[in-house]
Amino acid sequence: MTIKVYLTDSYAKELDARIEGLNGAELVLDKTIFYPEGGGQPSDTGKLVINGASYTVTGLRKEGDDVVHLLDRQPGARNGDRVACAIDWDKRYASMRYHSALHTIDGVIERHYNSGLITGGQIYFDRARIDVDMPDLGKEKVAEILAKANEVAVEGHRISTREIGVEEALKIPRLSRTETGRKLLESLKTVRIVEIEGLDEQADGGTHVKNTKELGLIVLNGYENKGSRRKRIEIKLV
């Protein structure tokens, strides 16, 4: 099992690990800081140094409890060898800010409009979008929502994560805002919660900033009506 350091320390940029499995250019480590794509958040990129040679991490995927690192070429290495890991921090930090910004927007929608069902979303390194099930959403209301989200950013709310048992988790109303997420929740033993203090709690496996102050200013980058259950809000952080 790979220890997923990104879940408990999203600010870890470098890590010393050991090889636990090797198959061609694919590598499993005992622990990792590399986030594998999921929940709308893209995979990290970065470098591994093994026995003095540097390799680029070109892809990541989850395989059971492991994270598989795909390298640019087969490394000269064997199980147990030490690996110095470094993620491309600028990209990761951008995806953390965008991920937390989407939760802030969703938290505002949930709290003030009582309608936070998410029907889609994607985080990029320079923008992010969220699709919401709000039939009466229009451009004016989007502006209102983003203004409220920016108030939360300026106020500086703490963002924290914790693991709780699934029974306790299921008592928290609307913990998962996607339909697939709700089904997934019931199949888990423990659930990781991301909380924006005073605003929002969600089941989530992504990486987040520590405080909404780190978001900066959320600006609208596009709004599209893609059907009554799918209004698309695209944002940029400046």
Q: How far apart are CA 86 and CA 158, in angstroms?
A: 26
Closest CB to Zn ion among 32 and 176? 176
CB of 212 to Zn ion, least distance (A): 14
Nearer to Zn ion, 18 or 183 (CB): 183
Least separation in angstroms between residue 100's CB and Zn ion is 9
Smallest gap from Cβ 22 to Zn ion, in A, equals 32
Pick out residues in 183-212 that bind Zn ion (CB under 5 A): 204, 206
Contact 203, 187 (CB under 8 A): no
Beta strands in 1-81 (DSSP E): 3-4, 14-23, 26-29, 31-32, 46-50, 53-63, 66-71
Q: How many residues bind Zn ion (CB under 5 A)?
A: 3
What is d(CA 157, CA 71) in angstroms, rounded to the nearest whole number? 38
Indicate whether 42 belongs to the interface with Zn ion (CB under 5 A). Answer: no
Q: Which is nearer to Zn ion, 45 or 161 (CB)?
A: 161
Of 39, 45, 15, 43, the residue nearest 29 (C-alpha): 15
Q: Which is nearer to Zn ion, 31 or 177 (CB)?
A: 177
Cα 160 off chain centre by: 13
Residues that bind Zn ion (CB under 5 A): 39, 204, 206
